Structure 1
Amino acid sequence: MSKLDSSMRCHAPVPLAASHDRNARRTLWVVILTAVMMVGEIVAGYITGSMALLADGFHMATHAGALGVTAAAYAYAKHHAESGRYSFGTGKVGDLAGFTSALILGLVAIGIGVESVVRLVHPEKVDFGDATFVAVLGLIVNIVSAILLSGDHNHGPGGDHGHAHADHDHDHAQAHGHAHHGHHHAHGHDNNMRSAYIHVLADALTSVLAIGALLAGRYLGWVWLDPAMGVVGALVIAHWSHGLLRDTAGILLDRSDAQLAGRLSAAIEGAGDVTITDLHVWPIGAGCHAAIVTVASTPILSAEVIRTRAVGIKGIRHLTIECAGPA
């Protein structure tokens, strides 16, 4: 490999998802709605002496805190999007917030599960009237919140896939430089919004299960059904939390995208005159990936030639190419 030129130009920042500002506004409204509901329940609980209202109010406080983390992440990512302190932009801030929210969800699931098991073993008197009122009111708030957060259909327990185009490459055989070939909005997983949506779904689920169990307890005498539904809800929330933890941790740890790497390899080696000796593909934001490719060829091909083979591959935002001699 020949000596590299020391000249270098700065990376252009990776753009935030096109829906970033819209999702930030929606999340802020949900935070406000959740906080108002939380304060109302706690105040009403103290005035009426209802432990059901107080308990649900403090439970709502944990979700308000997690949703606050989501809103703060949007603001931080936006404020520092053009900062040179972050080599690939602030696209992963949302995934960091999503990971934090998933941990909170996991703790909530454990708390609900433990308390439900304790009440199965040692049943307590339930004020069905106040508890049903709280559950119905909470469900209404959750429905409104879900409507606010469900505009893009890309943040549920599953998510979707997006793209961006390759626009960054380096010729390490001749010089070390950068070229840009268009700017594109990134689309794809917004794990920050997904975490907020799952928090709302978790609350809605517990409200629905609670309403059914409370009505059964009030009219059929099935007092045991309330804590039993608590266990069911805890298991479902734990499942959602695990999925969100798995996905966000993979992004934060630069998990390789095997499918995208396969498409990139096929495109570059398709002509049969190039051999890839090293390849790394990892996510740097919603729908954006970076890739480093080391190729060997005889004669030595320029990075520009290699780049033209990768232009049509969706999902690559930064492409670094190292060209060497024969393997």
Structure 2
Amino acid sequence: MRGEPASPIAAHTHEHVFLGANHGRNERKVWLVIALTASMMVVEIVAGTLTGSMALVADGWHMSTHAAAMLISALAYLYARRHARDPRFSFGTGKMGDLAGFASAVVLALVALLIGWESLLRLADPTPISFTQAIAVAVLGLLVNIASAWLLRDEPHGHGHGHSHGHAHDHHGHAHGDHDHHAGQDNNLRSAYLHVLADALTSVLAIAALLVGSMYGWLWADPLMGLVGALVIARWSLGLLRDTGGVLLDTVPHEPGEDVPAEIRAALETGGDRITDLHVWQVGPGHHAAIIALLSPTPQQPADYKARLAHVHELSHITVEVARAA
């Protein structure tokens, strides 16, 4: 009812919305690139089949995997946004993008094996290629890749949206408040972006193979480039598996130029205070959570420890436990 004071409990509750910066904008960009990629995928597969170009067919199927992987990314954005406040998710849906990236990396690894196997078969038994038509389509595919990469580029941005907060508590009670947070890296957008870059590289290899084949009649150059493309895709998929898997398994975050655990220790281990247990993990792009156990000869209020961490903008959720030292 209007005029009544807010509930004391309500004043200390908070949401766990840890979506990345520009979540909605990135989602729209991925959907647009999916449309571009799917259209070009159909053109390349059909043209490669008609002209007999393995490199062009491989590039088309490679684009199809990128379209499927980007669809996973787009659906992850959609699901994370719609369920951002679902209480079933203890720390929100900020890691949904990493789950999507991990899934797309697995698909890419399988496709790399298929392309590599088909290229080996073509090396053993080369087939005639209509070079002129194949080169024209490959160039068109490269242009689509460049346009898609431009759309998905990760532009510099400020603070992300979503309620960024920290809360600290000990045996006396609870305290919470707001933090500004570092924008961080959106692995879901990065996944889609790297798919497009890898696809552009495959297009370049296809064009190079077709040019060499048309000038010197080296039919083996086409499947050879298919093998090179397969190796590039496999290496990229392994890198994405490593990065997204680390987030999903709550490894200690350590990005270049940033060491959140070290910053926490530097801020709290002053005087006689010592950290006896520290857990830091990523809960969303640019959002990190921390559980800190402190031993202090003169325990302070939770808000005091939180205030010491105010400059660590990557922290969005903080839990502090304090025990009195003997």
Indicate the SS of the match to 1:170: strand
Q: 1:266 to 1:300 in 2, by over 3 A?
A: same
Q: 1:185 to 1:267 in 2, by over 3 A?
A: closer
Residue type of the alignment partner of 1:299 = T
Indicate the SS of the match to 2:155: coil
Match of 1:197 in 2: 193
Alignment of 1:1-327 (within 5 A): 10-41=13-44, 49-52=50-53, 57-152=60-155, 167-175=165-173, 177-182=174-179, 184=180, 187-257=183-253, 259-269=259-269, 271-326=270-325
Contact 1:24 1:75 in 2 (8 A): yes
2:72 and 2:29 map into 1 onto residues whose CA distance is 14
Indicate the SS of the match to 2:169: coil
Match of 1:157 in 2: none
Q: Which 4+ runs in 1 deviate beyond 6 A?
A: 43-46
Of Structure 1 and Structure 2, which has the larger fraction of its residues in strand?
Answer: 2
Indicate the SS of the match to 1:168: strand
1:218 and 1:320 map into 2 onto residues whose CA distance is 65
Deviation of the 1:231 alpha carbon: 1.8
Matched length? 309
TM-score, length of structure 2 as denominator length: 0.85
Q: 1:42 to 1:224 in 2, by over 3 A?
A: closer
2:210 and 2:133 map into 1 onto residues whose CA distance is 10
Deviation of the 1:185 alpha carbon: 5.8
The root-mean-square deviation of aligned C-alpha atoms, in Å, is 2.7
Contact 1:14 1:317 in 2 (8 A): no
TM-score, length of structure 1 as denominator length: 0.85
Contact 1:166 1:319 in 2 (8 A): no
Structure 2 portions without partners, runs of 5+: 1-8
**Percent identity at matched positions?**
51
Q: 1:232 to 1:153 in 2, by over 3 A?
A: farther
2:181 and 2:304 map into 1 onto residues whose CA distance is 25
Deviation of the 1:265 alpha carbon: 0.9
Contact 1:296 1:326 in 2 (8 A): yes
Q: 1:256 to 1:226 in 2, by over 3 A?
A: same
Structure 1 portions without partners, runs of 5+: 1-6, 155-161
Deviation of the 1:149 alpha carbon: 0.9
2:324 and 2:283 map into 1 onto residues whose CA distance is 30
Q: Structure 1, residues 266-307: CA drift from partner, whole Å, max 9, x if none?
A: 1100x2221111110000000110000011112333222222
1:326 and 1:92 map into 2 onto residues whose CA distance is 37
